[in-house]
Amino acid sequence: MTPYSRTTPRLLAAAVAVALAATVSGPTAQALAVDTAPRAVTARAAAGEQAAPLDLPDDAKLLSAGRTGMLTSTGWQQETAVHRWTPYAGGATVTLPAGPKWGSTGSDLVASKDGDVYTLTDMSGTAEPVVIDTSGLGTPGERYHLRRVIGTTLVMSHYLQGESRWTFHLVSVENGRTVDRPIASPVGQEDYDLYDAGPGRIVIGYGRLESPHYVQRLCVVDVATGEVTETYEAFPDSSFRIGSVAQSPNHLAWIEWRQSPVLAFAPRGTQDVERIPLTTTGEASDVEVRPLGDWALYTRPGGGTAYTGADPLHALTARSLTTGEAFEVLDHASSTAYDRDGNLLVLGGTLAQGEGLYRIAPDAATGRPAATLVRGSGRPTALVVQAETLPPTGTVDFDRAGGQLTAAMTLSRPNANVTLKLTHTASGRTAEPHTFWPGGMTHPTATWNGWFDNGYPAYNGAYTWTMTATPANGIGPATVRSGSFTLTRAPRPHDFDGNGSPDVFVRENSMLSLYDAGQITRLGSFESAFETRIGFGWNTYDRITATGDIGGTRNGDLVARDRTGALWLFEGRGDAKTPFRARVRVGGGWQVYDRLAGGSDLTGDGRNDLIASDRTGVLWLHPGTGSATKPFAARKRVGAGWGVYNQLTATGNLAGGPAGDVVARDKAGVLWLHLGKGDGTFAPRTRIGGGWGALKSVVGLGDVDGDGRNDLMALKEVVGEYPVMLVYPGTGQWRTPLGPPRTALPRYENWSGELF
């Protein structure tokens, strides 16, 4: 006992208690003054009967538990944390006045601080406050600091500047005087810490370097005298955290933090330490242990709100220290505290009973730890979907849907992974739009923009979908929803595979392949475009042109001239795997033409037409009929002089005129616009620009970049380099119909064939 002692005035005690009660109104004052009848509480808890849900935040931490209620806090800093008192009997949770608060293990006492004066208020209202004035302890530059409250004793620390070490003290009031009992410190210790070992118990961890290891010893302290009564040696170079050391009447147990957590325990008064490795996916330092009789209960706190996946130590597990039997008591525990009887109170949850306050006590029949729900919060432990907006069913018009589909879920808690997977039935291609990674959301939404995961625009047709909400902590089952729908959209110019995006054909030798233009405009510098191979044998044709829909099916078609002069129609099916129906012979005599171009409605009747220049330079119009058996009406002469061009491209409405247009490249490499007038003729040509002689192919694809205007695509060959695909965006202006080009495919894509 130190020489220092002083009388604590009764008037000061009364003033502090009145101030605490007056700071809050209504329920708090009642909590300070009313005995909540603990026997009735126990009966209701055993019957599973809750008067009102436990109204605590999810991140509330249990600090202490007494005869009638418990103290909790939220917030990391003691000075700014919010402290609450909750009666077991079903009364409302009360928020205590601002400022630091400490609970007294196993009692209803709550300590508050005003300067160097600590007041221990009995929250049951059955006893007068205990006031302890510590102003005379320590030195002016280094006061005592409260670390724990054991009964009505303050466990305090004091830093000795001259010796660079901490000392611990037991401070109490005896006969109206403040009494200071130093806790014995082993000789040569370099560091030590204090552990809340249970009701009326303290364990000190001492450490020092004993080369080559840092050795720690755990010492049981007699709270009445401050003397060390038992000493246990931890594994060399291991460490501990608050909550990782505790004692029962029969055992001392602790968690050693090494590469993985290890449960260590020894019968009281012996050095017979047993060690059991524990498996965790998290940090070993997070694991806490609480002995209960001949059992150790351990957990990695916070499993209910964890985002880090399943962890065996999320559960509160009981392990027999005599037989080794182990089983899960709760599915997770966020914090624990001993009650006045030495049983364990836990804020946690089970899949069966949900979140709340549980009491863990020995079962009367078996002696095994058993959990009883004292007061539930009304919140489930399992992940629950409270509301949902699922993908549509039936036929979905993607155009009317604005080019996207949305699905959402409202969840019972934010730590969940929600995924949406859509699968195109015919091709097997999938889309998994980013839905939600854990981060505080309870209403995750998935929006699908109509693209597959490989960057390819999604096809029309049948789809199945699966939407899954998975607990991010691995506790409880996932919720799975599934269904199907059929996607449809209006056909687009130059779209052959039914995905609403224009396509470009490439012929290399005899192989004809299709590449989606929307896909290739999205590729990065080192990504390959996805190729759909249509088949071999296409070298039998010397002229091929994509015409758009000329057969009346709404899908894009193709015409090809063989070397005998016969013209063949390949009617589109709008299917990625088989884009064309069996070919149909249109007629013969087409060898008179030098150039063919299709894909524009030149007459303004809503049907695509075909133009052809003969070897004398005369341009002819073959009006479309919309019939697959006879797709073109009798030809009409447009005019002469077209022999100056070595490339004709029908672009659709490129320049904002009344009908489809044609661009033509002359032999000097100049590109010209022929603006369609809507009657099968053209306005006087307009010069677009020079330098187009280096472009091997020029193709009108419709709207590639999604801005509502038709665009142009070209293949540029550079000596010594791979070909480069260029996209020239349409402007809708006849004077300058094309904007600056941009690369649409990586340079290493070796396209040496023809584009159309």
Distance CA 362, CA 370 (A): 6
CA 3 to chain centre: 60
Q: Which residues contact 288 (CB under 8 A, 6 or more apart)?
A: 241, 243, 244, 255, 298, 299, 300, 301, 336
Distance CA 546, CA 497 (A): 13
Pairing of strands 531-535, 541-548: unpaired
Alpha-helical (H) ranges within 437-547 are 517-520
Determine the 3-state secondary structure of 13 from DSSP. helix
**Cα radius of gyration rounded to whole Å, the chain:** 41
Q: Which helix (H) or strand (E) holds 372?
A: strand 369-376
User: Ramachandran region of residue 641, left (φ > 0), alpha (ψ -120 to 50) or beta?
Assistant: left
- Among 146, 150, 149, residue whose Cα is nearest residue 158: 146
Q: Which residues contact 51 (CB under 8 A, 6 or more apart)?
A: 44, 89, 90, 91
Q: Which residues contact 423 (CB under 8 A, 6 or more apart)?
A: 429, 430, 463, 464, 465
Tokens of 264: 């260590």
DSSP string, 143-187: --EEEEEETTEEEEEEEETTTTEEEEEEEEEETTEEEEEEPP--T
- Among 339, 3, 402, residue whose Cα is nearest residue 200: 339
Tokens of 623: 């009006």
Ranges of beta strands (E only) in 115-270 are 117-122, 130-133, 145-150, 153-160, 165-174, 177-182, 191-198, 201-210, 213-221, 228-233, 245-247, 251-257, 261-267
Phi, psi (deg, nearest 5) at residue 6: -150, 155
Mean of pLDDT over the chain: 85
User: Ramachandran region of residue 336, left (φ > 0), alpha (ψ -120 to 50) or beta?
Assistant: beta
Amino acid present at 65: A
Kindly report whether the global pTM for this prediction surpasses the value 0.85: no
Phi, psi (deg, nearest 5) at residue 46: -65, -30
DSSP string, 314-329: GSEEEEETTT--EEEE
Q: Which helix (H) or strand (E) holds 16?
A: helix 10-23
Distance between first and last Cα of the chain: 99
Q: Determine if the peptide bond prior to 212 is cis (ω within 30°).
A: yes
Burial of 655 (0-12, 13-18, 19+ CB in 10 A): buried
Q: Which residues of the chain have pLDDT under 70?
A: 1-51, 186-191, 196, 240-243, 283-285, 435-441, 524-527, 718-720, 744-752
Burial of 426 (0-12, 13-18, 19+ CB in 10 A): middle
Distance CA 654, CA 703 (A): 10
Distances (CA, A) of 108 to 139, 201, 364: 32, 17, 26
Beta bridge partners of 396: 487
CB distance 703 to 491 below 8 Å: no
Q: Which helix (H) or strand (E) holds 274?
A: strand 274-277
Q: What is the dihedral of CA 34, 40, 45, 50, to 10 degrees?
A: -60
Q: What is the pLDDT of residue 18?
A: 41
Distance CA 739, CA 725 (A): 15
Q: What is the pLDDT of residue 436?
A: 55
Distance CA 326, CA 482 (A): 38
Beta bridge partners of 724: 716
Beta bridge partners of 215: 208
Tokens of 588: 């013969």
Determine the 3-state secondary structure of 483 from DSSP. strand
Distance CA 137, CA 178 (A): 9
Tokens of 103: 């609970």
DSSP string, 38-105: HHHHHHHHHHT--SS-----TT-EEEEE-SSEEEEEESSSTTT-EEEEEETTSPPPEEPPSS-EEEBT
Let me know how long the chain is: 756
